[in-house]
């Protein structure tokens, strides 16, 4: 597929009440294996990729570093790729717009942009600037030759900056300025997610994390979600396995955890199958 086909397909996947799974991959290898086993699209994860570089999450990679990684992911799989671009690597709307323009140039089908400042004492942008940032991103996206999807995030509930009512107000405003999808990571309960979905007139991304991991795709569908992402969850699960086995080996001299592995032959086959 060319860029236009990927972007168009990705936009069309967003159907409220019929969510597709958008797995976040931390590396090219993960992306290719997910593609091989049937993923319809791939998302990047800022936290997952940062951890692979030995860095903590939260703008510890530059915009250029993240976009280089995203371009590697785009080239790796013949699927739409949507990028986790944190806060757009800028505070002002013009800076966010520039980031979105660069994202389109490397072949991404879309991106998610959050309203987090990463500044101590003021974790979220004020309402008006948060909306202006999304408006600027949408203006650039709509000027592209492809259907680039802007997913506007309201992260304040997750980080304790504001409540669900404010998150819904922000999402409604993001949609008014043209956001194609909205996202409130970890809104609380499944009932809270359903309230969000019923309160907005655009597709909603749901995060399978925290208390929501116990629910199925059917449950997310009943709530009204259009897509289900996993953030850094897959990477964290892999890190949990590495830590558990590593501790067994180092502390106890116990190597039995290595018995449950994927064969090199299977890995090689999956990487080949999932390649662009």
d(CA 1, CA 64): 25
- pTM, to two decimals: 0.97
Read off the pLDDT of residues 91-129 as tens digits, 9 standing for 90 and up.
999 999 999 999 999 999 999 999 999 999 999 999 999
Q: What is the pLDDT of residue 205?
A: 99
Radius of gyration of the chain (CA): 19
Give the pLDDT band of residue 214 (cuts 50, 70, 90). very high
Mean pLDDT throughout 148-154? Answer: 99
Residue 198 has pLDDT above 90, yes or no: yes
Show the tokens assigned to 159: 């980080």
> Considering the chain, what percentage of its residues have pLDDT values greater than 90?
97
How large is the angle between the packed helices 93-105 and 127-143, nearest 10 degrees?
30
d(CA 194, CA 37): 29
Read off the pLDDT of residues 13-25 as tens digits, 9 standing for 90 and up.
999 999 999 999 9
Kindly list the structural domains of the chain, giving each domain's residue range(s) and its CATH number in brackets, ordered by start. 3-235 (3.20.20.60)
φ, ψ of residue 77 in degrees (nearest 5): -130, 150
Contact 61/46 with Cβ under 8 angstroms? yes
Exposure class string for 109-124: b at 16+ Cβ within 10 A, else e: bbbbbbbbbeeeeebb
Q: What is the pLDDT of residue 57?
A: 86
Mean pLDDT throughout 205-231? Answer: 98
d(CA 37, CA 234): 15
Cβ atoms within 10 Å, residue 158: 20
Mean pLDDT throughout 269-273? Answer: 94
Cβ atoms within 10 Å, residue 37: 10
> What is the average pLDDT score of the chain?
97
Give the pLDDT band of residue 145 (cuts 50, 70, 90). very high
> Considering the chain, what percentage of its residues have pLDDT values greater than 70?
100
Cβ atoms within 10 Å, residue 164: 19
Q: What is the pLDDT of residue 114?
A: 98
């Amino acid at each position: 597929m060319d860029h236009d086909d990927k972007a168009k397909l990705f936009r069309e996947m967003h159907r409220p009440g019929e969510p597709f799974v958008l797995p976040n991959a931390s590396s090219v290898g993960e992306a290719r294996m997910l593609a091989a086993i049937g993923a319809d699209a791939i998302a990047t994860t800022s936290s997952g990729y940062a951890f692979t570089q030995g860095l903590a999450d939260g703008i510890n990679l530059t915009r250029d570093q993240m976009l280089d990684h995203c371009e590697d992911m785009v080239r790796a799989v013949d699927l739409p790729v949507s990028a986790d671009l944190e806060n757009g690597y800028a505070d002002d709307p013009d800076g966010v717009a520039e980031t979105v323009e660069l994202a389109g140039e490397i072949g991404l089908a879309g991106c998610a942009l959050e309203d987090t400042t990463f500044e101590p004492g003021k974790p979220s942008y004020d309402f008006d600037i948060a909306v202006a940032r999304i408006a600027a991103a949408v203006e650039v996206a709509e000027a592209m030759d492809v259907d680039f999807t802007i997913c506007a995030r309201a992260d304040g509930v997750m980080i304790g900056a504001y409540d669900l009512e404010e998150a819904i107000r922000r999402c409604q405003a993001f949609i008014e300025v043209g956001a194609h999808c909205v996202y409130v990571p970890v809104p609380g309960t499944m009932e809270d997610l359903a309230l969000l979905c019923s309160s907005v007139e655009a597709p909603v991304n749901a995060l399978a994390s925290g208390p929501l991991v116990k629910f199925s795709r059917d449950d997310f569908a009943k709530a009204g979600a259009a897509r289900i992402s996993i953030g850094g969850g897959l990477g964290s699960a892999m890190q949990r396995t590495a830590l558990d086995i590593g501790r067994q080996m180092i502390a106890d001299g116990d190597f039995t955890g290595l018995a449950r592995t994927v064969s090199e032959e299977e890995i090689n086959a999956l990487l080949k199958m999932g390649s662009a």
